[in-house]
Structure 1
Amino acid sequence: MKRPENTIIIKTEAFADRIIRMCRYLTDEDKGEKDAIRQIYRSGTSVGANTAESQYAQSRADFLTKMTIALKEANETKFWLGRLHSEDALNDKEYNSINDDCVEIIKLLTSITKTIKTK
């Protein structure tokens, strides 16, 4: 039986794919500080990993923990995107595109965590 589509899973998986491609591009083009690229790779892919893991949470508290971690990782990713943009590794168009996706994910995760906390 096919599982219903889950917006946050779809968006965070696509975001992780974008982060991987972006890091590969920055590395290949020798753009950006290597440590910043490693950090954004780690935090950006962790968002998707934690939301995926949350789908098999053992309890409501476990689900909330995984979603909260994903939210924190998304916020860290936003920070690193800003650093890469400020050092001109990402131009305005590249930055705005991926940052908009990150902000959308942060909003979704914020809504999910607030809803779980109030139930």
Structure 2
Amino acid sequence: MSGSIVGKKSFEFAVNIIKFYKIFIVDKKEYVLSKQLLRSGTSVGANIREALNAQSKMDFIHKLSISQKECDETIYWLELLYQTEYISKVEFETLHSQAIELLKIIRSIIITTKNKLQKP
């Protein structure tokens, strides 16, 4: 993913999610919600990587759409962990802002790709 901005950002995000998860399970002893966050947060980049190796533009859009859903799910888990006071405002804001940025980039790429497909 060296040439892709979204690829780099999603990889960095996954690394941050993993680091957070490792600390979180030790400090908070919470394993269910944090595992959901780990799964969805790392899935964003994995699906972006798949999209970058897509077999067609439609496959590309499909893989990015999955990544978009996983990113939105990650935001949900972060919001839930914050509202239930499992994570601090600083922890929340750091990961949440990264996730929101990724979501916007992914959505923009999907829209742009769809628009290009519709033009003759």
Shorter-normalised TM range: over 0.9
Render the CA deviation track for 1:11-45: whole Å, top value 9, x for unaligned.
Answer: 000000011111111101125x4221111111000
Please, which runs of 5 or more residues in structure 2 have no aligned partner?
A: none
Structure 2 counterpart of 1:45, one-letter code: T
Q: What secondary structure, in the 3-state scheme, does the structure 2 residue paired with 1:36 have?
A: helix
Alignment of 1:19-38 (within 5 A): 19-31=17-29, 33-38=30-35
Q: 2:100 aligns with which of 93, 100, 103?
A: 103
- Give the direction of change, closer, same or farther, for the CA distance of 1:27–1:76 in structure 2 (3 Å limit): same
Matching of residue 10 in structure 1 with residue 8 in structure 2? yes
Q: Runs of at least 4 residues of structure 1 off by over 2 A?
A: none
- Give the direction of change, closer, same or farther, for the CA distance of 1:4–1:17 in structure 2 (3 Å limit): closer
- Give the direction of change, closer, same or farther, for the CA distance of 1:18–1:4 in structure 2 (3 Å limit): closer
Deviation of 1:5 after TM superposition, in Å, equals: 2.2
Distance 1:19 1:66 in 2: 21
Structure 2 counterpart of 1:103, one-letter code: I
In the superposition, the TM-score normalised over structure 1's length comes to: 0.92
Please, which runs of 5 or more residues in structure 1 have no aligned partner?
A: none
Alignment of 1:80-95 (within 5 A): 80-95=77-92
Deviation of 1:53 after TM superposition, in Å, equals: 1.1
Structure 1 counterpart of 2:26, one-letter code: D
**Aligned position for 2:36:** 39
